[in-house]
Amino acid sequence: MASADPASSRRVVWGGQIIAVENRRDATEIEILAFPLDGDGRPDSDAPSLGRFVAVRAGFLDPADYAPGRLVTARGRLGPARTGTVGGAELRLATLEAETLRLWSREVPPPRVVPYGTLGIGFGSRGYYGGGVGIGIGF
């Protein structure tokens, strides 16, 4: 995670599993256990964790929708890092000023199956008396 120097305020797309949600006066803070994103931008929760970060979104987000355990992808700018605690251990957490949030369905998508196969056509001749045609399909 980029918790070292977020002063650059660069744009990022991060995602993971929601750990906690806290509504403040003007914004909602979502603590997220980060995972790498797959080709669709969905967090891969089977991969090793990349750490934690806090997504901050202006306005109210319903904790029933953004419940712990849900997968989310956030897009926005890095904000100032902050200090947090996990089980008594102190650590620095990157913050992401979330411009967009995408909640993923609770169902795991089926694996993508890419169909493939071959088709072959052949002609042969054994001289004056023999010959043949063949067609083959392979998977």
In this prediction, residues 87-96 reach a mean pLDDT of 89
Q: Extract the tokens encoding 104.
A: 């993923």
Which residues constitute the domain of residue 18?
6-103
What tens digit of pLDDT does each residue of 24-63 get? Answer: 999 999 999 999 999 999 999 999 999 999 999 999 999 9
Give pLDDT, residue 125. 61
Is 48 a member of any domain? yes
Take residue 22 and report the two structure tokens written for it. Answer: 């806290």
- pLDDT for res 114: 67
Average pLDDT, integer, range 100-120:
74
Q: How confident is the model at residue 91 (pLDDT cuts 50, 70, 90)?
A: confident
127 dihedral zone (left: phi>0; alpha: psi -120 to 50; beta) = left
If pLDDT is split at 50, 70 and 90, which confidence band does 66 have? very high
What's the CA gap between 70 and 64, in Å, rounded?
10
What pLDDT shows up at residue 84? 82
132 belongs to a structural domain: no
Q: Give the pLDDT confidence score for residue 6 in this predicted structure.
A: 47
Domain count, the chain: 1
Residue 77's nearest CA partner among 53, 97, 102, 57 is 97
Question: CA–CA separation, 59 vs 29, rounded Å?
Answer: 10
Residue 90 · residue 84 · CB < 8 Å: yes
Q: Would 115 be classed as within a structural domain?
A: no
Q: Which of 11, 22, 6, 24 minimizes the C-alpha distance to 74?
A: 11
Whether 131 is in a domain gets the answer no
**Domain-embedded: residue 27:** yes
| pTM to 2 decimal places | 0.71
Position 136 in a domain: no
Residue 7: phi and psi, rounded to 5, are -60, -20
Q: Is residue 34 part of a domain?
A: yes
> Which residues, 6+ apart, have CB-to-CB distance to 45 below 8 Å?
16, 17, 35, 71
- For residue 87, what pLDDT is reported? 82
Q: Which CATH number covers residue 66?
A: 2.40.50.140
